[in-house]
Amino acid sequence: MAEQTIRSSFERQAGACSDLGSPFTAALCRLMAERLDRATAFGRRILDWPGPPGADALPLRAAGALHALARRGYEPLARLYPPAPFPGPDALWEGVRHALASHDRELAAFLDSPPQTNEVARSGVLIGGFLVLARETQAPLDVLEIGASAGLNMGFDRYAYELGQAGSHASAAAGEDAPVRLACDWRGLRPPPLDAPLRVRSRAACDQNPLDPADPAARERLLAYVWPDQAQRLARLEAALDAAAAAPWRVEKADAADWVERRLAEPREPGGCRTLYHSIVWQYLPPAVQARIQNAMEAAGAAASSGEPLAWLRLEADGDPRSAGLRLTLWPGGETRLLARGDFHGRWAEWL
């Protein structure tokens, strides 16, 4: 990959971070775009990255590596990170330079894995899709999630929600004693029905690299991918990790296509709606894996009936840099509908 393409990906990520409310991460990405060189293994790995830097989320891998080190208290980097005031670009880069000099191999190794942000606030968008599905099928849901990371969004029906501007209405998905409270600004003339009979009968999930929410190292890796100047997201993630650690489910280690094919081939308990769902995962799957999942869903959909429907709910990037599309496919019939556009971090949803 051409070096300028890689540097441009860091510039684009800086713009996205600014739009999503993280000026600190935006500044860090711009500094790496401008000043990173091949004097370190970290710099060489990035500037000689063989794959597409955007699809591989290379800037987020790099920012996560440095945040992980800062969170461990490494100086002088830690004192330059939020909640401290922004030190200015030269001072911040000096801290990065010191970090690269002393932890080069560790930082380079951190780049091996793609980000697993497991942004639990996306449940504020997904819950609307599940409510639509519950209303239309009047059936309990048997949910299957791919790319589930630590499984935080598996508990979407157990969270409390403040939906709409200034919390103008709240979802009945969970009560006041819910372990996690999420705020999502629902917009649009026809939001999903809050009184829909949403009931999750069973749930399972997979990931190529599942993280145990009770494991301190796994928790720290997830927290490192949250942008350091977004304290509310960090606190929300810690609460969701606590809730997931206490939950009776865990995420299976599996290839997404293998797992979906196997799950769809299993006998179904009568009366439910089997539902595959995922959020900001599709772009990381190889085309061959995407095709196998698509084919498996269409084959299973051909055998669905009104008494045993099949659904596919996904919140995924679709070319709009400002938001993701929430789409629902429901069999029998197999029509795909764009239900909403949602913020990548779950801050808002525009219902269509």
pLDDT at 167: 41
| CA separation for the pair 331, 324 (Å, rounded) | 23
Asked whether residue 166 is assigned to any structural domain, the reply reads yes
| Domain end among 110, 128, 152 | 110
Kindly report, residue by residue over 313-329, the tens digit of the pLDDT: 999 999 998 999 999 99
Q: Is the separation of the CB atoms in 250 and 152 below 8 Å?
A: no
* Cβ-Cβ contacts under 8 Å for 215 (sequence gap 6 or more): none
pLDDT at 117: 77
Q: Which helix (H) or strand (E) covers residue 77, if one does?
A: helix 77-80
Structural domain for 196, as ranges:
120-351
| Domain end among 110, 138, 163 | 110
Q: Residues 95, 131: one domain?
A: no
- What does pTM read for this prediction? 0.85
Q: Residues 32, 176: one domain?
A: no
The pairs formed by 88-94 with CB atoms below 8 angstroms and a separation of 24 or more are: 89/27, 89/30, 89/31, 92/27, 92/28, 92/31, 93/31, 93/35
Q: Residues 93, 199: one domain?
A: no
Q: Percentage of the chain surpassing pLDDT 90?
A: 90
| CA separation for the pair 143, 312 (Å, rounded) | 10
| CA separation for the pair 215, 219 (Å, rounded) | 6
| CA separation for the pair 130, 159 (Å, rounded) | 13
* Cβ-Cβ contacts under 8 Å for 168 (sequence gap 6 or more): none
Average pLDDT over residues 31-60: 96
pLDDT at 174: 55
Q: Tell me, what DSSP letter sits at residue 20?
A: T
C-alpha 199, offset from chain centre? 23
Q: Residues 102, 241: one domain?
A: no
Dihedral sign, Cα of residue 43, residue 45, residue 46, residue 48:
positive
Task: Count CA atoms closer than 13 A to 247's CA, side-chain side.
Answer: 26
SS3 assignment for 213-266: CCCHHHHHHHHHHCCCCCHHHHHHHHHHHHHHHHCCCCCEECCHHHHHHHHHHC
Asked whether residue 67 is assigned to any structural domain, the reply reads yes
Nearest CA to 343 among 55, 64, 119?
119
226 pLDDT above the threshold of 70: yes
Domain total for the chain?
A: 2
Q: Residues 282, 175: one domain?
A: yes
Q: Residues 176, 148: one domain?
A: yes
100 pLDDT above the threshold of 90: yes
| CA separation for the pair 157, 130 (Å, rounded) | 9
Q: Residues 68, 127: one domain?
A: no
Asked whether residue 177 is assigned to any structural domain, the reply reads yes
Matching residue, tokens 């070096």: 3
Q: Residues 167, 298: one domain?
A: yes
Q: Residues 99, 134: one domain?
A: no
| Domain end among 110, 137, 154 | 110
Asked whether residue 48 is assigned to any structural domain, the reply reads yes
| CA separation for the pair 171, 174 (Å, rounded) | 7
Q: Residues 223, 308: one domain?
A: yes
* Cβ-Cβ contacts under 8 Å for 65 (sequence gap 6 or more): 42, 107, 110, 111, 224
Q: Residues 47, 144: one domain?
A: no
Q: Residues 90, 132: one domain?
A: no
Min mean pLDDT across 119-128, 164-173, 248-257 is at: 164-173
Q: Max CA-CA distance within the chain? A: 64
Average pLDDT over residues 79-91: 97
Asked whether residue 115 is assigned to any structural domain, the reply reads no
